[in-house]
């Protein structure tokens, strides 16, 4: 309720300010000259199209794997990871094609920008998908933290109802916070098509309080959760490694990429947004292009940071590949021999043993992906 009240006050104040016309906006300022026609624009379009293809390909394989049960992952972990995969897939299915259409339409019509209503809707969808993705990343870190440090209370703290509420908040809270962007006419915040980033962007300088409020409600809380939760897990794993005298540090190999990829992809975008809002100025063309498209690149990096590093995911991926005859060129002959002999394969025996080894941990700590990563961290904390 307090957040809604603050947001309402900001919207009312912004409406009054915009109606007076006293606010300088980036949309009214001339854009920095850049290679719009020719190699610069073609290169940007090619990069965006390639990024969209990589996101679809990577998250398609991820959905194929986690749609079925993965050894070592609880149902709650799978649901939250599915939410993240859905948000990342939406980047390629909504953000990329809608903004490419706007850029191509502008190229065909000369210097005319896409229609204002279209840009408002696209900017609203862009921001909503980005916010859902970052909320899903924070939810994963929170679930891992609870699974490792509160294994005995995991079933109560991360019940099905609470997991559904967590996922629902990740998808419903962003549209509620960002709905003023979709209002045409710039009554709350103005929107323009950026020649630099080829995106329909909110004009953050036209409503500085609302822009800063969005960063305070979306980026900074999620950044704190991702950093603190994974940092605490990393410290617990380091203490456990020193106590057991192990040379390898699996936690650094898994947890550090999570934090580094998050900040590398999201921090430049947020710095650009805050810089535009406060200084009412634009960053250089290619800096804006890279900074505003890096969050979409995070949708592809997540396939490696959250999935491919995990041994259980790789095992399930190879297992599905063998079933779909993606890895074995003699698939038809091997399947014929297997059906004739009726004997279990080596992969089936390995999968059976892995499932048996994970039964105890599944009942004790919900078999979160973090429990597989830090098998004895909870004992060290307790």
pLDDT of residue 102: 79
Asked whether the beta carbons of 277 and 205 are under 8 A apart, the reply is: yes
The pLDDT of residue 333 is above 70: no
The pLDDT of residue 253 is above 90: no
pLDDT tens column, 60-70: 888 888 777 77
> Longest C-alpha distance within the chain, in Å?
82
- The full set of domains in the chain, from first to last, is 30-323+345-381 (1.20.1070.10)
**For 77, what's the count of Cα atoms within 13 Å in the CB-facing half-sphere?**
28
pLDDT tens column, 121-134: 999 999 999 999 99
Distance between CA atoms of residues 205 and 187, nearest Å: 14
* Range 264-293 average pLDDT: 92
The pLDDT of residue 381 is above 80: no
Run of H or E including 201: strand 199-202
Q: What is the model's pTM?
A: 0.75
3-state secondary structure at position 192: strand
Higher pLDDT among residues 245 and 362, named by residue: 245
Q: 353 — alpha (psi -120 to 50), left (phi > 0) or beta?
A: alpha
For the chain, strand residue ranges (E) read: 191-194, 199-202
Contacts of 228 (CB under 8 A, 6+ apart): none
Confidence of residue 146 (pLDDT cuts 50, 70, 90): very high
Confidence of residue 242 (pLDDT cuts 50, 70, 90): confident
What's the alpha-carbon Rg for the chain, to the nearest Å? 24
Count the Cβ atoms, other than its own, within 10 Å of residue 322.
16
**Residue 202 β-bridge partners:** 191
Residues for the chain: how many in total?
382
Run of H or E including 193: strand 191-194
Count the Cβ atoms, other than its own, within 10 Å of residue 9.
12
**Residue 200 β-bridge partners:** 193
pLDDT of residue 325: 66
Helix 116-149 / helix 220-244 crossing angle, nearest 10 deg: 30
Count the Cβ atoms, other than its own, within 10 Å of residue 269.
21
Maximum mean pLDDT: which of 39-48, 71-80, 172-181, 362-371: 172-181
**For 36, what's the count of Cα atoms within 13 Å in the CB-facing half-sphere?**
18
The pLDDT of residue 366 is above 80: no
CA geometry: angle 307, 287, 84, nearest 5 deg: 20
The pLDDT of residue 339 is above 60: no
Count the Cβ atoms, other than its own, within 10 Å of residue 161.
8
Burial 80-98 (b: 16+ CB within 10 A, else e): bbbbbbbbbbbbbbebbeb
Contacts of 318 (CB under 8 A, 6+ apart): 327, 347
Distance between CA atoms of residues 152 and 156, nearest Å: 9
Confidence of residue 77 (pLDDT cuts 50, 70, 90): confident
pLDDT of residue 75: 82
pLDDT tens column, 180-200: 999 988 889 999 988 889 999
Distance between CA atoms of residues 70 and 371, nearest Å: 13
Distances (CA, A) of 253 to 244, 247, 308: 18, 13, 12
Q: Give me the percent of the chain exceeding a pLDDT of 90.
A: 40
Distance between CA atoms of residues 307 and 314, nearest Å: 8
For residue 55 the two structure tokens come to: 């996101």
For 69-139, strand residue ranges (E) read: none
């Amino acid at each position: 309720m307090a957040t809604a009240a603050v947001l309402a006050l900001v919207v009312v104040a912004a409406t009054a300010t915009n109606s007076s016309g006293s606010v300088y906006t980036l949309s009214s300022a001339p854009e920095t000259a850049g290679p719009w026609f020719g190699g610069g624009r073609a290169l940007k379009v090619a990069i965006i199209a390639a990024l969209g293809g990589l996101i679809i390909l990577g998250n398609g394989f991820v959905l194929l794997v986690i749609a079925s049960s993965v050894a070592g992952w609880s149902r709650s972990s799978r649901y939250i990871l599915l939410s993240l995969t859905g948000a990342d897939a939406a980047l390629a299915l909504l953000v990329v094609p809608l903004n490419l259409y706007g850029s191509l339409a502008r190229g065909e019509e000369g210097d005319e920008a896409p229609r204002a209503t279209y840009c408002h809707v696209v900017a609203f969808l862009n921001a909503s998908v980005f916010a859902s993705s970052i909320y899903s990343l924070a939810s994963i870190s929170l679930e891992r933290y609870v699974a490792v440090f509160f294994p005995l209370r995991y079933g109560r703290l991360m019940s099905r109802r609470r997991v559904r509420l967590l996922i629902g908040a990740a998808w419903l809270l962003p549209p509620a916070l960002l709905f003023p962007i979709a209002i045409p006419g710039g009554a709350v915040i103005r929107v323009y098509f950026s020649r630099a980033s080829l995106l329909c962007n909110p004009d953050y300088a036209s409503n500085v309080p609302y822009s800063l409020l969005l960063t305070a409600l979306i980026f900074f809380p999620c950044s704190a959760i991702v950093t603190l939760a994974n940092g605490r897990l990393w410290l617990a794993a380091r203490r456990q490694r020193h106590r057991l005298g192990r040379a390898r540090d699996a936690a650094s190999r898994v947890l550090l990429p999570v934090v580094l990829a998050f900040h590398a992809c999201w921090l430049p975008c947020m710095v650009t947004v805050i810089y535009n809002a406060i200084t009412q100025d634009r960053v250089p063309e290619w800096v804006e292009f890279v900074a505003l498209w890096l969050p979409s690149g995070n949708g592809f990096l997540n396939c490696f940071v959250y999935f491919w590093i995990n041994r259980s995911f790789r095992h399930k991926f190879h297992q599905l590949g063998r079933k779909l005859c993606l890895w074995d060129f003699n698939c038809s002959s091997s399947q014929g021999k297997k059906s004739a002999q009726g004997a279990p394969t080596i992969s089936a025996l390995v999968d059976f043993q892995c499932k048996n080894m994970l039964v105890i941990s599944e009942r004790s700590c919900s078999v979160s992906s973090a429990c597989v990563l830090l098998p004895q961290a909870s004992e060290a904390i307790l």
